[in-house]
Amino acid sequence: MIRLRSVSAFGFLSELRRDEVRSRRGFTLIELMVVIIIILILSGMTLAMMSVFMRDQGIRQAGNMVQNTISLSRQYAAEKRVMHFVVFSNNDKEGCGIMRTYKDINNSKSYDNGDLEIEGGTVQLPAMVIFKKAPAWIGITPTGFCTGYTDLSSSLFEKRMRDFQEEGDIILTMRAGRYRAWCMDIDPAAGKIRRGVLLTDEKE
């Protein structure tokens, strides 16, 4: 025999509230632990990626500074219709590379002590980043052509990079720490850095 149980409106609403409370009981301990573990794993991966990025940031920034200095010198040469020079050196006291831009005021087509350093033309690379390979100077003509150095062909540069061999017209490195080399290929006809590649001793 089937027995019917009468439920008042108040009782029915009470049952609904109890069901709602049960459905909203929240996370179990295991579920919370799984979420925490996932967050910790993602945080660790993010910190590792940030560590690699920050470790390379100094030499990457230095590469951009070299590129910008040469580009600015090309701009000066075009505007003033006179040759400009970018002179490269390392400052042992400061522990970093230095670039200075000069104007060819005596029209010698070659950098010498008679040339005038332009105002604000000194650029200091980030700490611990030095020139491992660089010409004494690079001249940039009003037409944007680079002179004063022995150019490495772009095809040879690309081959060296594929073989993970340090090469380039300009090479930056770190004075200390793990191996880092920022290799740059100059496009002499365009008067600018064609490409820069970072070499490290660490696997990606």
50-66 pLDDT tens trace: 555 556 889 999 999 99
Within a domain: 17 = no
Within a domain: 44 = no
User: Distance between CA 76 and CA 30 in Å, rounded?
Assistant: 66
What is the number of domains present in the chain?
1
Within a domain: 45 = no
Within a domain: 22 = no
User: Distance between CA 166 and CA 157 in Å, rounded?
Assistant: 9
Residue 35: per-residue pLDDT: 80
Within a domain: 101 = yes
Within a domain: 117 = yes
pTM of the model: 0.72
pLDDT band with cut points at 50, 70 and 90 for residue 130: very high
Structure tokens at 127: 């700490």
Spell out the residues 6+ positions from residue 127 whose beta carbon is closer than 8 angstroms to its own: 58, 94, 95, 96
Within a domain: 1 = no
> Which of 50-59, 109-118, 161-170 shows the lowest per-residue confidence on average (mean pLDDT)?
50-59
User: Distance between CA 87 and CA 115 in Å, rounded?
Assistant: 11
> Which of 135-139, 170-174, 199-203 shows the lowest per-residue confidence on average (mean pLDDT)?
199-203
CATH of the domain at 150: 3.55.40
User: Distance between CA 173 and CA 186 in Å, rounded?
Assistant: 17
> Which domain covers residue 75, as residue numbers?
55-200
Helix (H, G, I), strand (E, B), or coil: what is residue 80?
helix
User: Distance between CA 118 and CA 102 in Å, rounded?
Assistant: 6
| Whether the predicted pLDDT of 200 surpasses 60 | yes
User: Distance between CA 150 and CA 182 in Å, rounded?
Assistant: 18
First to last CA, the chain: 75
User: Distance between CA 98 and CA 26 in Å, rounded?
Assistant: 62
Structure tokens at 138: 């690079």
pLDDT in tens, 152-161: 999 999 999 9
Within a domain: 80 = yes
